[in-house]
């Protein structure tokens, strides 16, 4: 883990469960298909959101067309001038670069979104696997907007 990744995870406002998820994700400790396969456990090999590629954390959060469209929609909604993470970047690399290109007054909001988006994508993935939900970008975008408003009320000042 780079010296900056702990700052994104632990030094920004987010509920503790979201921070813990990010810590696990940064350590590649979430139970995605690739990790289940390494342990010889039963799994669906393809991403439940796009059904196009092997499910890895990198794919799920950065490369999946479903996730990429969701990033685009939310960053546009927040009027962020930065593009979403590309498949060449890690989430931390994207956050550091986006932070440099974001006005100071918007940086707390960017950090909150960098924490909120992967968490909500992960929750949507789990709904697809465990509840049979359909992966619909607009449904997830609506949930993220609602959650961002809740975070703002709870103390994430950058999302106001």
Query: What is the tens place of the pLDDT at every residue in 134-160?
Result: 999 999 999 999 999 999 999 887 776
What is the C-alpha to C-alpha distance for residues 40 and 118, in angstroms, rounded to an integer?
26
- Give the residue from 66, 126, 118 showing the smallest Cα distance to 91: 118
Higher pLDDT, 9 or 141: 141
Reported as a single tens digit per residue, the pLDDT across 28-56 is 889 998 888 888 888 888 999 999 999 99
CA dist., res. 103 & res. 99, Å (int) = 8
Q: In the chain, what are the domain boundaries?
A: 14-159
pLDDT band at 131 (very low <50, low <70, confident <90, very high): very high
* pTM, entire model: 0.90
């Amino acid at each position: 883990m780079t010296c900056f990744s702990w700052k994104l995870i632990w030094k920004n406002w987010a509920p503790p469960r979201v921070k813990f998820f990010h810590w696990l994700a940064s350590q590649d400790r979430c139970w995605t298909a690739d990790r289940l396969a390494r342990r010889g456990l039963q799994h669906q090999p393809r991403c439940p959101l796009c059904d196009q590629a092997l499910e890895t954390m990198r794919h799920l959060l950065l490369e999946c067309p479903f996730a990429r469209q969701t990033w685009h929609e939310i960053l546009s909604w927040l009027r962020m001038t930065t593009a979403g993470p590309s498949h060449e970047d890690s989430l931390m690399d994207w956050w550091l670069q986006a932070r440099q290109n974001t006005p100071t007054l918007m940086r707390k909001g960017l950090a909150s979104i960098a924490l909120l988006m992967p968490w909500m994508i992960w929750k949507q993935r789990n709904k697809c696997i465990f509840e049979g939900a359909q992966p619909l970008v607009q449904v997830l975008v609506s949930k993220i907007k609602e959650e961002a408003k809740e975070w703002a009320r709870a103390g994430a000042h950058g999302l106001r």
